[in-house]
């Protein structure tokens, strides 16, 4: 049973909160899309929400680099217009105005999820982060399969799977067990 009714408003609030908190160090648009996707997936699991419903409301679809949402791009524009985000580098880097964080409060559970994703965004480059979203064993297979079906880079990631596994292990993102699950999936 879902404690919070999932509407465009509640999911929009989740998306805005994720965008603001996850872009604290500055993210490019590709990483921001995947980071918000991971946040919503994690929040849905932590709160027994239907991820399929959240993803549908947030308008995630399979795209060239995996899960993508025009809704998120729209929210970035609104938040930027409100002065809560800063865009730089031809609008390629989205960064939170730190003074605006208090407008988007989070509870401890949400902050833990945000911190886990921030660790990933801080340690991984764009392709490594996309690889993580495509292949990490914590993400249900059906979700990975659906959201990567139109990918233009999936075959390249598969071809270089060992290289990415090695980098994720070296950076402390995955252990031997996760590496094997990725390797033999």
Q: In the numeric block, which tokens belong to residue 71?
A: 């809704």
89 confidence band (pLDDT: 50, 70, 90)? low
pLDDT of residue 1: 38
Number of alpha helices (DSSP H) and beta strands (DSSP E) in the chain? 10, 5
Q: Rounded CA gap, 117 and 138, in Å?
A: 13
- pLDDT one-digit tens code per residue, 10-52: 999 999 999 999 999 999 999 999 999 999 999 999 999 999 9
Residue 98 reports pLDDT greater than 90:
no
92 confidence band (pLDDT: 50, 70, 90)? confident
Query: Residues 167-184: what's their mean pLDDT?
Result: 96
Query: Residues 174-179: what's their mean pLDDT?
Result: 96
Let me know if residue 3 belongs to a domain: no
Containing domain of residue 62, as a range?
8-183
Instruction: Answer positive or negative: Cα dihedral of 133, 134, 135, 137.
Output: positive
Q: Rounded CA gap, 5 and 70, in Å?
A: 22
Let me know if residue 153 belongs to a domain: yes
Q: Which residues pair with 61 in a beta bridge?
A: 68
pLDDT of residue 42: 97
pLDDT of residue 4: 66
2 confidence band (pLDDT: 50, 70, 90)? very low
* Phi–psi pair at 93, nearest 5 degrees: -110, 125
Query: Residues 2-7: what's their mean pLDDT?
Result: 72
Q: Rounded CA gap, 11 and 76, in Å?
A: 14
Q: Rounded CA gap, 153 and 151, in Å?
A: 5
**Residue that the structure tokens 């609008």 belong to:** 91
pLDDT of residue 97: 84
The number of distinct structural domains making up the chain is 1
**Residue that the structure tokens 């764009």 belong to:** 126
Let me know if residue 1 belongs to a domain: no
Cα 164 from chain centre: 18
Let me know if residue 155 belongs to a domain: yes
Let me know if residue 114 belongs to a domain: yes
Q: In the numeric block, which tokens belong to residue 126?
A: 């764009």
- pLDDT one-digit tens code per residue, 44-75: 999 999 999 999 999 999 999 999 999 999 99
pLDDT of residue 65: 93
Let me know if residue 165 belongs to a domain: yes
Query: Residues 171-178: what's their mean pLDDT?
Result: 96
Could you tell me which residues come within 8 angstroms of residue 125 by beta carbon, excluding any fewer than 6 positions away? none
Q: Rounded CA gap, 137 and 181, in Å?
A: 6
Residue 3 reports pLDDT greater than 60:
no
pTM: 0.94
Let me know if residue 2 belongs to a domain: no
Q: Is the Cβ–Cβ distance between 28 and 71 less than 8 Å?
A: no
Say which residue, 116 or 4, is predicted with more confidence: 116
Mean pLDDT of the chain: 93
Let me know if residue 56 belongs to a domain: yes
């Amino acid at each position: 049973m879902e404690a919070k009714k999932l509407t465009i408003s509640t999911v929009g609030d989740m998306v805005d909160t994720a965008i603001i908190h996850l872009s604290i160090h500055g993210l490019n648009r590709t990483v921001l899309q995947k980071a918000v996707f991971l946040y919503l997936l994690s929040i849905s699991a932590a709160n027994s929400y239907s991820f399929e419903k959240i993803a549908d409301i947030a308008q995630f679809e399979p795209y060239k680099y995996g899960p993508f949402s025009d809704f998120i791009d729209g929210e970035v524009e609104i938040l930027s217009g409100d002065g809560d985000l800063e865009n730089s580098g031809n609008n390629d880097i989205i960064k939170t105005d730190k003074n605006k964080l208090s407008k988007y409060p989070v509870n401890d559970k949400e902050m833990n999820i945000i911190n886990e994703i921030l660790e990933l965004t801080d340690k991984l480059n764009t392709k490594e982060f996309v690889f993580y979203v495509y292949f990490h064993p914590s993400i249900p297979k059906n979700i990975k399969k659906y959201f990567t079906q139109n990918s233009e880079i999936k075959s390249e990631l598969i071809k270089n799977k060992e290289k990415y596994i090695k980098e994720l292990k070296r950076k402390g993102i995955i252990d031997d067990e996760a590496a094997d699950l990725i390797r033999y999936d």
